[in-house]
């Protein structure tokens, strides 16, 4: 076997997985105000950005050849009905319009969920102390339509309600957005790895947790059922989240289904790498390249990652 490992040109010739920034999506957090660029504690190099700043960030993302951005929002105020999620002048809707205008050609994906917009931090409407599935679907569909109306290219529901893909598809079609694809967070696990994100998006549940809607980390077969249902409901692309502890799921989804597959290299995965690198315990560049390569080798072509800009720069340099 060592004959094909003897020099870089040979290794390069037989390499099975190659990284391309066009397959990365960078998550960004839009916040109210102007000139705001507030670094997120556990996510060095990532910021809550006001709309004017997010536009600057997006120009950089486009220049680096990164596939696109996925937008999350921090509304001015939160309420019981998540009204900021589907308001036409909501924070994400405003960010989309500004990016569309100032950075044409950049792919804009939106996260469709309610947890950043509810006063209680849950992903849906609370009825008798629980997240009500079917009443939440209307909010999700309305958010997706408002994102499409503002100019989003792709909507990505991350709430894990049952039937949301069908509800969103129906509503998008009814409003003349049949061309807008749905990237479904099909297998999303109730993970501790979302911790830093919840600080960034200010979306920690005020009571209980998300285990009645997000998946049990112990279940792989159930993930395949989730994916099959989302495809039946009309998902155009599917995602597994988090990435690293769930690469077996990524691989099984890739083998069983023929849609484009994405994986979300989430905030906690990012934070661990950053913390170790800052302590001088690991080589950040090499470890990040190995991580992204591993995610893609497992079968995810699309990778959502907070490392996107760094990786794009490193790939440019070599
Ligand atoms: C919204 C959402 C979350 C993430 C993406 N969309 C948080 C959650 O479900 O609590 C997590 C992303 C990350 O950790 O990087 N529901």
DSSP-assigned letters across all residues of the chain = -GGGGSSHHHHHHT-S----GGGEEEEEEEESSSS-EEEETTEEEEEEEEHHHHHHHHHHHHHTT--EEEEEE--S--BTT-HHHH-TTSHHHHHHHHHHHHSTT-EEEEEE-STTTBTT--SSEEETTEEEHHHHHHHHHHHHHHHHHHT-SEEEE-S--TTHHHHHHHHHHHTT-TT--BEEEEEEB--GGGHHHHHHHT---SSS-STTTSBPTT-SHHHHHHHHHHHHHT-SEEEEESSGGGHHHHHHHHHH--S-EEEEE-HHHHHHHHHHHHTTSS-HHHHHHHHHHHHHHHT-SEEEETTHHHHHHHHHH-
Residue 176, token pair as written in the block: 């003349």
Give me the domains of the chain, ranges plus CATH numbers: 19-317 (3.20.20.70)
Q: For Cα atoms 49, 260, 313, give the angle at the middle one, nearest 5 degrees.
A: 45
Using a cut of 0.85, tell me whether the model's pTM lies above it.
Answer: yes
Lookup: tokens for 139? 């909010």
> Is the torsion defined by CA of 266, 269, 275, 276 positive or negative?
negative
Low-confidence ranges of the chain (pLDDT < 50): none
Atom of ligand 1 nearest to the CA of 159: 16
Q: Are strands 125-127 and 130-132 parallel, antiparallel or unpaired?
A: antiparallel
Q: Is 266 in the pocket of ligand 1 (CB under 6 A)?
A: yes
Separation of alpha carbons 56 and 49, rounded Å: 10
Assess whether the C-beta atom of 113 lies below 6 angstroms from ligand 1: yes
194 CA to centre of ligand 1 in angstroms: 6
How many CB atoms are located within 10 Å of the residue 171 CB?
A: 19
Among 84, 194, 199, say which to mutate for ligand 1: greatest number of ligand atoms within 8 Å of CB.
194
pLDDT at 104: 97
Task: Kindly give the interhelix angle for 308-317 and 51-63, rounded to the nearest 10 degrees.
Answer: 30
The interaxial angle of helices 133-150 and 164-174, nearest 10 deg, is: 40
Predicted pLDDT of residue 162: 98
β-pairing, 302-305 with 24-31? parallel
**Is 123 close to ligand 1, i.e. is its CB under 6 Å away?**
yes
Angle of helix 221-233 versus helix 164-174 axis, rounded to 10: 20
Place of tokens 């998300």: 210
The radius of gyration of the chain's CA atoms, rounded to the nearest angstrom, is 19
User: What's the CA-to-centroid distance between 87 and ligand 1, angstroms?
Assistant: 21
Q: What pLDDT is stored for residue 318 in this prediction?
A: 74
Distances, alpha carbon 108 to alpha carbons 18, 28, 94, in Å: 24, 11, 13
**With a 6 A CB cut-off, is 194 part of the ligand 1 pocket?**
yes
Q: In this structure, which residue's CA is closest to atom 6 in ligand 1?
A: 158
Counting ligand 1 atoms within 8 A of each CB, the residue from 201, 244, 246 with the most, and so the one to mutate, is 201
CB of 158 within 6 A of ligand 1: the answer is yes
As annotated, the active-site residues are 188, 241
Q: Which atom of ligand 1 is nearest to the CA of 214?
A: 9
- Euclidean distance between CA atoms 161 and 127, whole angstroms: 14
Q: Under a CB-based contact definition with an 8 Å cutoff, are residues 200 and 46 in contact?
A: yes
* CA count, 13 A, side-chain hemisphere, 244: 18
111: Cβ below 6 Å to ligand 1?
yes
Q: Whose CA is nearest to atom 7 of ligand 1?
A: 194
115 CB within 6 A, ligand 1: yes
Q: For a ligand 1 pocket test, name from 113, 262, 270 the mutation site with the most ligand atoms within 8 angstroms of its C-beta.
A: 113
């Amino acid at each position: 076997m060592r004959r094909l490992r003897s020099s870089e040109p040979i290794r390069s010739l037989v390499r099975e997985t190659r990284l391309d920034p066009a397959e990365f999506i960078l998550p960004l957090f839009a916040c109210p105000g102007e000139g705001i660029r507030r670094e997120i504690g556990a996510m060095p190099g990532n910021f809550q950005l006001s709309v004017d700043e997010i536009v600057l960030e997006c120009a950089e993302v486009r220049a680096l050849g990164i596939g696109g951005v996925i937008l999350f929002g921090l509304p001015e105020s939160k309420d019981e009905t998540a009204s900021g999620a589907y308001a036409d002048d909501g924070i994400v809707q405003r960010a989309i319009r500004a990016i569309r205008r100032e950075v044409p050609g950049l792919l804009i994906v939106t996260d469709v969920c309610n947890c950043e917009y509810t006063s209680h931090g849950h992903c849906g409407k609370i009825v008798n102390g629980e997240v009500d599935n079917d009443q939440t679907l209307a909010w999700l569909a309305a958010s997706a339509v408002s994102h499409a109306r503002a100019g989003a290219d792709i909507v990505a529901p991350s709430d894990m309600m049952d039937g949301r893909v069908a509800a969103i598809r129906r509503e998008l079609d009814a409003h003349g957005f049949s061309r807008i694809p749905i990237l479904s967070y099909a297998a999303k696990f109730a993970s501790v790895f979302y911790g830093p994100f919840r600080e960034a998006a200010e979306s920690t549940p005020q009571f209980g947790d998300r285990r009645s809607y997000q998946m049990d980390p112990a279940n792989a077969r159930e993930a395949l059922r989730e994916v099959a249902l989302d495809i039946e409901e009309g998902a155009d692309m599917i995602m597994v989240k988090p990435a690293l502890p769930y690469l077996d799921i990524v691989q099984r989804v890739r083998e069983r289904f023929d849609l484009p597959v994405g994986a979300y290299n989430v905030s906690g995965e990012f934070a661990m790498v950053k913390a170790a690198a800052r302590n001088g315990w690991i080589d950040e560049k090499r470890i990040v390249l190995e991580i992204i390569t591993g995610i893609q080798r497992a079968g995810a072509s699309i990778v959502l990652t907070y490392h996107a800009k760094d990786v794009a720069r490193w790939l440019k340099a070599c």
